[in-house]
Amino acid sequence: MQLIKKDQQKNIQGEMCGSLIEVLNQKDFPFGIVVSEDIRSTEAHYHKESKKCYWMLEGWVDLVIENVKTGEKTSTKLEDGDLITFEPFEKHQIINASEKNKLVTISSPAWHIDDVVADIN
């Protein structure tokens, strides 16, 4: 058993990503959990190996998703209680969000910079 108290979680601040709290990372488990509050638009990006899940706890976000291998594009709104998953090579971007929101991101394996490919278009 491992109890992770709030003061043990890593607070990360991002300009467009709002307040980010890394709850679990790769050193702890084979997956990572990050809680985002008041997230805004994000840069389009995809992951080469990580599978990712967004679970909307409060508010809403508008997403654009593109499979970089097939070129298939989708837009969707994620609202309270909704969950969406991304496979590797599915580019995703938050383009709009409610003023107040809370989003949980779960990644497996946990997020690491070498797995992220930013949109260069």
9: exposed, middle or buried (Cβ count in 10 Å: 0-12, 13-18, 19+)? middle
Average pLDDT, the chain: 85
- Contacts from 74-81 at CB under 8 Å and sequence distance 24+? 78/54, 78/103, 80/56, 81/56, 81/57
**Residue 114 pLDDT class (50, 70, 90 cuts):** confident
Average pLDDT for residues 108-116, to the nearest whole number? 83
Query: Is the entire prediction scored with pTM above 0.85?
Result: no
Structure confidence by residue, pLDDT tens digits, 12-29: 655 445 566 666 666 667
Is beta strand 18-24 parallel, antiparallel or unpaired with respect to 73-79?
A: unpaired
Residue 40: the pLDDT is 87
Instruction: Using a pLDDT cut of 90, give the percent of the chain over it.
Output: 54
Domains of the chain as residue ranges with CATH: 42-104 (2.60.120.10)
Query: Are residues 48 and 117 in contact, defined by beta-carbon separation less than 8 angstroms?
Result: yes
- The token pair that represents 66 in the structure block: 């593109």
